[in-house]
Structure 1
Amino acid sequence: MAVADVPVDLGRDDAREAAVRELRDPAYVSDDPSLVQRAFNWVLDRLDELFAGVGGMNGITATTIVVAVVVLIVIVIRLRAGRTSRALRSGGGVFGSTVLTAAQHRAAAEKAAAAGDLAEAIRERFRAVVRELEQRGVLDARAGRTVDEVALEAGQALPALADDLRGAAVQFDDVWYGGRTATAEGYRLLVSVDGRVRG
């Protein structure tokens, strides 16, 4: 194309098309790896260093290190999966979507305890405590409140019960988020705290 053939005034669309054609030229394509490729290469380099270091050790030591790393990875995955399933099971907050009175939560707790479902009994008894505190005006009715917030806010309003409320929150957390097995003793603790809140 001769210089005389180049238009002096290019429209916006013509200029964009010319720029796209020019930038498709292989001279502009970089040989640098992408960010994903660089991250992948970095991980591979770290693994090479790990296995090079393991190669200089005796067989038992190398095997022990590799097994320890695998066990650690499995533990981390199981802990994360367990937390996620417990959070889904519990709905994230203290209450589910159904609104019940404190008495109804107590009845549900007793029914669950009689059926041997102590985890559900603990959850329902804690809900009874929270609903009782709301019905008495100690706490405002608020969706999404966590057990720790319940213990903190109610403990500030009722300092004589602060330790009891904190213990109840810990019991709830241990069972529903910590993966601990619910016990009859833990349920009795919640029943005791509920009685003190009602008194």
Structure 2
Amino acid sequence: MVTFRLIDVPVDLDRDTARAQAAQELSDPRYRAAQPGLLERVGRWLGELFGKLLDSLSGVPGGPLGLLLVLALLIVLAVVVRLRIGPVGRARQQAGQVFEGRRRSAGEYRRAAEEAAARGQFADAVRERFRALVRGLEERALLDHRSGRTADEAAAEAGVLLPDLAADLTSGARRFDDVHYGGRPGTEDAYRALTELENRVRRERPALVGA
């Protein structure tokens, strides 16, 4: 949680003091921890905005109050940026990943899917069947063992090597995302479609890329 003490901001601010306050805020180490591209863009945009506001308020009566309002706006923007690059932002980036926790074998995921389907828990069955599909591709060395891969990325990469199944792989990834991240209920039809797709993927021979 980000907390700012507005009472520490002096009421009587001149241009140099206000710019120093802005520079100090933007030099926070948590900004430097962000990706350079994002930091550079945000810093440049905030600097330009702050400079324009200072110029527009320099000759207006009640300037100190205006500068205080500008600093308040800067604080709000800083909170937004930190939410984007902090724990909340990282959590959003992790959304969409196929695997969570300990990675199991394709056979283990497959058995978990079958057991969930037998209990009528088709949301779990859909999740585990798609994981079995992706894990099987990794075990065949058609996909590299990369953590953080999303369902869409797995489908796109596999579709290059299995072009006849590319469209179906994309549909399978969408089913996984709809259930696991979209909150939609799993259905028996969706599970059966993924089961058939996984069986076809296991039988399909990869194409020679560039041939």
SS at match of 2:144: coil
Cα distance in 1 for residues equivalent to 2:195 and 2:131: 11
Quote the residue 1:15 is aligned against.
Answer: none
Task: Identify if the C-alpha distance between structure 1 residues 134 and 36 changes in structure 2 by more than 3 Å, giving closer, same or farther.
Answer: same
Q: Name the amino acid aligned to 2:164.
A: A
Task: Identify if the C-alpha distance between structure 1 residues 101 and 25 changes in structure 2 by more than 3 Å, giving closer, same or farther.
Answer: closer
Alignment partner of 1:132 is 2:167: no
Deviation of the 1:179 alpha carbon: 2.4
- Measured on the aligned residues, the alpha-carbon RMSD in Å equals 3.0
Q: Is the 8 A contact 2:11 2:64 kept in 1?
A: no
Alignment partner of 1:167 is 2:187: no
Quote the residue 1:30 is aligned against.
Answer: 64
Q: Name the amino acid aligned to 2:193.
A: L
Q: Name the amino acid aligned to 2:70.
A: L
Task: Identify if the C-alpha distance between structure 1 residues 25 and 146 changes in structure 2 by more than 3 Å, giving closer, same or farther.
Answer: closer
Tell me which structure has the larger Cα radius of gyration.
Answer: 1
Quote the residue 1:188 is aligned against.
Answer: 192
Could you tell me the TM-score, scaled by structure 2's length? 0.54
Could you tell me the TM-score, scaled by structure 1's length? 0.57
Cα distance in 2 for residues equivalent to 1:38 and 1:26: 17
Deviation of the 1:157 alpha carbon: 0.8
Cα distance in 2 for residues equivalent to 1:25 and 1:180: 52
SS at match of 2:64: coil
Quote the residue 2:126 is aligned against.
Answer: 122
Cα distance in 1 for residues equivalent to 2:99 and 2:120: 21
Q: Name the amino acid aligned to 2:160.
A: Q
Deviation of the 1:113 alpha carbon: 1.2
Stretches of structure 2 lacking an aligned partner (at least 5 in a row): 1-9, 15-62, 75-87, 204-211
Stretches of structure 1 lacking an aligned partner (at least 5 in a row): 1-23, 40-83
Cα distance in 2 for residues equivalent to 1:150 and 1:102: 15
Task: Identify if the C-alpha distance between structure 1 residues 31 and 160 changes in structure 2 by more than 3 Å, giving closer, same or farther.
Answer: closer
Task: Identify if the C-alpha distance between structure 1 residues 30 and 141 changes in structure 2 by more than 3 Å, giving closer, same or farther.
Answer: same
SS at match of 1:30: helix
Aligned residue pairs total 129
Task: Identify if the C-alpha distance between structure 1 residues 124 and 35 changes in structure 2 by more than 3 Å, giving closer, same or farther.
Answer: same
Quote the residue 1:143 is aligned against.
Answer: 147
Q: Name the amino acid aligned to 1:146.
A: T
Deviation of the 1:178 alpha carbon: 2.3
Task: Identify if the C-alpha distance between structure 1 residues 38 and 196 changes in structure 2 by more than 3 Å, giving closer, same or farther.
Answer: closer
Task: Identify if the C-alpha distance between structure 1 residues 127 and 31 changes in structure 2 by more than 3 Å, giving closer, same or farther.
Answer: closer
Quote the residue 1:107 is aligned against.
Answer: 111
Cα distance in 2 for residues equivalent to 1:194 and 1:178: 22
Cα distance in 1 for residues equivalent to 2:168 and 2:11: 73
Alignment partner of 1:95 is 2:99: yes
Task: Identify if the C-alpha distance between structure 1 residues 37 and 192 changes in structure 2 by more than 3 Å, giving closer, same or farther.
Answer: same
Task: Identify if the C-alpha distance between structure 1 residues 135 and 34 changes in structure 2 by more than 3 Å, giving closer, same or farther.
Answer: same
Task: Identify if the C-alpha distance between structure 1 residues 182 and 25 changes in structure 2 by more than 3 Å, giving closer, same or farther.
Answer: closer
Task: Identify if the C-alpha distance between structure 1 residues 174 and 31 changes in structure 2 by more than 3 Å, giving closer, same or farther.
Answer: closer
